[in-house]
Amino acid sequence: MTPAAESSATGFSATPVLANDRVRLEPLALAHAGDLAVASTDGELWRTWYTRIPSPDDMVSEIRLRLARHAAGELAPWAVVDARTGTAVGMTTYLNLEPRNRRLEIGSTWLGRAAQGTGINPAAKLLLLERAFEQLGCIAVELRTHWHNHQSRAAIARLGAKQDGVLRNHTVWTDGTLRDTVVFSILDSEWPTVRTALTHRLQGR
């Protein structure tokens, strides 16, 4: 499908299955709740103060929330499935959909502890970036994270994204602290190089 064919708001919020040898992104569904609760339990990730990862008890309500926002055309949510095991190990989402400006954000992403450092994250990002630039015709893709989430900042930079800046006191966090949001982006002119680097990186795994 050409970028022009998917340049509408409906195209930006669509959630087709995206897959490669390492990971499969499936449209998020309540059927993923059990696997995702287990993934969240691994390392008690939801207790990390600078991230927003649903606890096992909150997983169903979080999925329902994302599905409601998807139905409203506000975002495109996927379950991240390990292609080797068929198990859902995390979530990822297209946010801040701007089809008119041909840009979006990849965010609200998390992976269970056991899936981190396995190549699943870069493999998923490759699929999401391919869709954004090659099917949706985006001219820019953003990625954002908490200033104190150094692991996430390093992972985003390793993708080939450039840091645009920091939004100071951007969000009031659930515990009352203030989040400084670090904003990264990849431009369409940078995508061929980013794609090549990601592809070679995954071939080494």
- Domain range for 36 is 3-203
Q: Write the pLDDT tens digit of every residue in 57-77.
A: 999 999 999 999 999 999 999
CA separation for the pair 80, 83 (Å, rounded): 9
Q: Write the pLDDT tens digit of every residue in 27-61.
A: 999 999 999 999 999 877 878 777 888 999 999 99
Q: Which domain CATH number covers 77?
A: 3.40.630.30
Residue 186 has pLDDT above 90, yes or no: yes
Residue 157 has pLDDT above 70, yes or no: yes
% of the chain at pLDDT higher than 90 = 83
Q: Write the pLDDT tens digit of every residue in 114-139.
A: 999 999 999 999 999 999 999 999 99
Confidence at 78, pLDDT banded by 50, 70, 90: very high
Query: In this structure, are residues 28 and 77 in contact, taking their beta carbons and an 8 Å threshold?
Result: yes
CA separation for the pair 143, 157 (Å, rounded): 10
pLDDT at position 45, please? 80
pLDDT at position 87, please? 97
Confidence at 3, pLDDT banded by 50, 70, 90: very low
Residue 1 has pLDDT above 60, yes or no: no
- The count of structural domains within the chain is 1
Higher pLDDT pick, 4 / 103: 103
Residue 7 has pLDDT above 60, yes or no: no
Closest CA to 89 of 64, 65, 114: 114
pLDDT at position 5, please? 42
Confidence at 4, pLDDT banded by 50, 70, 90: very low
% of the chain at pLDDT higher than 70 = 95
